[in-house]
Amino acid sequence: MPFHRFYCSANLYTKEEKQAIARSITNLYALVPLPRFYVVVNFIEVGQDDCYVSGEQHAKFLRIHVQHLARNLQTVEEKRVFLANYEKAIAPYTKDKGIDWELQVSNEDPAFWNWNGISPPPFGSEPFQMWMKVNKPVEWAEEVLQE
């Protein structure tokens, strides 16, 4: 699952902008392809008196933290290409909006990940294709992979 946390000043984004950001990010991962439900985007509003950059209050600062669990980027080239595509996807809500932002992506160990108590199937497997098709986690058995 790619889990995205947007730490932002209260009212930096409208409800419509938040939805547009979430859709833009989801579309980026759909190209991998990953099931769309894997993509989770949370907006965590930070009070105006709670965000400081260089020791100074900063009302138009956005901190984005992305955790990758479903697939991990391995090479520097893969990582830089992903960041470039991500920056392009969010540009209307960052660069074009005239705010300052920071983006961090972490690769996490997928062995520590379950969805509704289910270990996600391997990328590209039949159970994975089912998750793509129904766009939600469904029970599957590892024996299916060994047949």
Model pLDDT, residue 13: 96
- In our burial notation (b when 16+ CB lie closer than 10 A, e otherwise), range 40-58 reads ebebeebeeeebeeeeeeb
β 56-57/52-53 pair status: antiparallel
Task: Give the tens place of pLDDT for each residue, 61-89.
Answer: 999 999 999 888 899 999 999 999 999 99
CA distance 128 to 121: 5
* Cβ pair 3, 113 in contact under 8 A: no
Question: Is the predicted pLDDT of residue 145 greater than 70, yes or no?
Answer: no
- Architecture in CATH for domain 2-111: 2-Layer Sandwich (3.30)
Q: What digits encode the pLDDT tens for the residues 120-134?
A: 999 999 999 999 999
Residues of the chain with CATH 3.30.429.10: 2-111
111 pLDDT more than 70:
yes
E strand map for the chain:
2-9, 40-46, 52-53, 56-57, 61-68, 100-107
pLDDT at 146 over 90: no
